[in-house]
């Protein structure tokens, strides 16, 4: 799901790195006298240029929306619930046999996420990447948790048994870590996404390069497969063991888009696709037998996992990627909030209309209501809160990074700042020597952004 979440992108980006070099003097200037240090302000440090804004891939946005709709249709027509007053298999006896494969929508989400997250992390700082993910995930997620929590606590308490405490813990997105149930079942994908983001932030701190991405996409899924088969639970959690191949496929496809085709990259895509089939098919067989009245085909499940990869290839590495219709971007923006709120709110609409209207009309109205709710979250919350949350989070993370670097360099809190090679700035040295008074004219200008 993406977060849901969420989650941005039309062409391969070419970054211009050329900058005019300042002309340096041939001889070093003499150090300033204490009097000069008193009256000559230190030049302000220039703010770093904002990272280039990534364009959106319209076709990829459309694919995300398709995945969300597949999950919505699966929940409304196939997954067992009390919404229809009888098993969905009786309401949609023929369609359900095929619509149940919409349960693979989250797996498609995860491949797309691997592509998009690497794209947005490349050439960015840790603070920028972490802040962008916080701002992308949490505003819509908090809205979804509160809306669904309100529905299940007060409006439709028979829909699912939840407590106010569970709703509160769910707001952290760490409920799985505390062994607390999800208020909405779709949140399981966010726990996988969140762990993947942590790995990416670590990767950004180390430094992302083509060679490292190839190595990561080879070693990480391999370790995940071993951990999933025989590793301790904590290692499976850290490595996102069940979904590592899906994320790795997306990362590799972005690498191919950015750096060009290579046999090694495509071999790794093929290997990770095989690993994904190995992990996803048995898991889906168990889930569908437990959650529906249909028995899926292992062969069809395997082919559809491959199809998920093929669809991402088509919308990112072929001329289809050049589609830039504005409405595709709008669909992409609605995907994450739609994924977050559709399940229980849609079931509530169905439970109130079933028996009075034809099933397919009820289905259409539940879908329309879910889309309207998603639009309200996107335009009313995400667009208003997201940018502010991102700037606040980035500023806080950058300040924390400055403090950490200062402590690492031995510059404790409350000690005067030092210049290159540990030199104390001239103003402070002069004042310490008694040459400069403490008048207001001696105060150094504050560096921008500090």
Q: How far is the C-alpha of 146 from the C-alpha of 167, rounded, in Å? A: 7
Beta strands (DSSP E) in 298-447 are: none
Instruction: Kindly state the DSSP code that residue 154 receives in the 8-state scheme.
Output: I
SS3 357: strand
Which runs of consecutive H residues, i.e. helices, occur in 179-292?
A: 188-206, 210-230, 233-238, 244-259, 263-291
Distance, C-alpha 358 to centroid of its chain: 39
Q: How far apart are CA 59 and CA 408, in angstroms?
A: 45
75/140 Cα distance (integer angstroms): 20
Compute the distance between CA of residue 130 and CA of residue 449 in angstroms, rounded to an integer.
19
Full-model pTM: 0.80
How far is the CA of 8 from the CAs of 71, 132, 195, 297, 421, in angstroms?
20, 11, 19, 33, 42
| Contact assessment for residue 241 and residue 104, using Cβ atoms and an 8 Å cutoff | no
Query: Among candidates 192, 210, 211, 212, which has minimal Cα distance to 202?
Result: 212
Angle between helices 58-77 and 359-377 (to 10 degrees): 130
Dist CA 372 CA 137 (whole Å): 19
Q: For the packed helices 298-317 and 263-291, what is the interaxial angle rounded to 10 degrees? A: 140
Query: Which class for 39: exposed (0-12), middle (13-18), buried (19 or more C-beta within 10 A)?
Result: exposed
Question: How many Cα atoms occupy the beta-carbon half-sphere of 450 within 13 Å?
Answer: 10
- Computed over its alpha carbons, how large is the radius of gyration of the chain? 27
Q: Burial of 246 by CB count in 10 Å (0-12 exposed, 13-18 middle, 19+ buried)?
A: buried
Spatial contact of 300 and 333, defined as CB atoms under 8 Å apart: no
Backbone phi and psi for residue 379, each to the nearest 5 degrees, phi listed first: -80, -30
Alpha-carbon distance of 104 to 179, in angstroms, equals: 25
| Confidence at residue 409, expressed as pLDDT on a 0 to 100 scale | 81
DSSP string, 174-206: -TTTTT---SSGGGHHHHHHHHHHHHHHHHHHH
In the chain, count H helices and then E strands.
Answer: 17, 0
Residue 417 has phi, psi (to 5 degrees) of -65, 150
Q: What are 371's two structure tokens?
A: 């889309």
Question: 316 is written with which tokens?
Answer: 């990112």
Domain ranges of the chain: 58-405
Contact status, residue 7 vs residue 336, Cβ threshold 8 Å? yes
- CB-side neighbour CA atoms (13 Å) of 332: 24
pLDDT number for residue 341? 98
Phi-psi bin for 123: left (phi > 0), alpha (psi -120 to 50), beta? left
pLDDT tens, residue order, the chain (450 aa): 444 444 443 333 333 333 333 333 333 444 444 444 444 444 444 444 455 556 679 999 999 999 999 999 999 999 999 999 999 999 999 899 999 999 999 999 999 999 999 999 999 999 999 999 999 999 999 999 999 999 999 999 999 999 999 999 999 999 999 999 999 999 999 999 999 999 999 999 999 999 999 999 999 999 999 999 998 999 999 999 999 999 999 999 999 999 999 999 999 999 999 999 999 999 999 999 999 999 999 999 999 999 999 999 999 999 999 998 999 999 999 999 999 999 999 999 999 999 999 999 999 999 999 999 999 999 999 999 999 999 999 999 999 989 988 888 865 544 444 444 444 444 444 444 443 333 333 333 333 333
Tokens (6 digits) for 339? 């994924």
Task: Assess contact for 145 and 5: CB atoms under 8 A.
Answer: no
């Amino acid at each position: 799901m993406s977060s849901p979440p969420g989650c941005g992108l039309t062409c391969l980006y070419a970054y211009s790195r050329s900058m005019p070099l300042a002309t340096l003097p041939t001889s070093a200037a003499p150090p300033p006298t204490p009097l000069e240090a008193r009256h000559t302000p230190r030049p302000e440090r220039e703010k770093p240029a904002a990272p280039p804004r990534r364009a959106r891939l319209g076709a990829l946005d459309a694919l995300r929306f398709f995945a969300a709709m597949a999950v919505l249709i699966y929940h409304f027509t196939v997954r067992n619930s009390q919404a229809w007053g009888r098993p969905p298999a009786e309401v949609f006896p023929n369609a359900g046999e095929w619509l149940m494969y919409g349960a693979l929508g989250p797996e498609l989400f995860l491949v797309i996420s691997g592509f998009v997250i690497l794209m947005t992390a490349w050439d960015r700082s840790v603070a920028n990447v972490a802040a962008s993910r916080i701002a992308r995930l949490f505003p819509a997620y908090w809205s979804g948790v509160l809306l669904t929590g309100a529905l299940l606590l007060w409006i439709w308490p028979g829909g699912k048994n939840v407590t106010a405490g569970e709703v509160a813990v769910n707001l952290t997105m760490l409920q799985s870590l505390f062994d607390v149930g999800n208020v909405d079942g779709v949140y399981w994908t966010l726990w996988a996404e969140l762990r993947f983001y942590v790995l990416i932030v670590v990767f950004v701190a180390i430094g992302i390069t083509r060679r490292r991405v190839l190595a990561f996409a080879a070693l990480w899924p391999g370790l995940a497969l071993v951990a999933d088969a025989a590793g301790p639970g904590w290692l499976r959690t850290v490595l996102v063991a069940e979904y590592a191949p899906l994320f790795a496929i997306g990362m590799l496809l972005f690498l191919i888009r950015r750096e060009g085709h290579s046999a090694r990259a495509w071999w790794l895509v093929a290997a990770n696709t095989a690993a994904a089939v190995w992990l996803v098919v048995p898991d889906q067989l168990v889930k569908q037998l437990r959650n529906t009245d249909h028995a899926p085909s292992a062969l069809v499940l395997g082919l559809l996992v491959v199809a998920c990869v093929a669809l991402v290839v088509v919308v990112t590495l072929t001329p289809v990627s050049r589609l830039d219709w504005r409405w595709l971007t709008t669909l992409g923006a609605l995907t994450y909030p739609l994924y977050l709120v559709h399940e229980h709110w849609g079931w509530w609409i169905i439970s109130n209309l079933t028996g009075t209207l034809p099933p397919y009309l009820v289905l259409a109205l539940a879908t329309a209501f879910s889309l309207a709710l998603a639009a309200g979250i996107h335009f009313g919350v995400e667009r208003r809160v997201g940018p502010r949350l991102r700037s606040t989070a980035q500023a806080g993370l950058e300040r924390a990074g400055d403090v950490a670097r200062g402590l690492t360099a031995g510059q404790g809190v409350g000690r005067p700042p030092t210049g290159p090679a540990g030199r104390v700035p001239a103003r402070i040295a002069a004042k310490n020597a008694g040459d400069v008074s403490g008048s207001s004219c001696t105060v150094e200008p504050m560096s921008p952004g500090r």
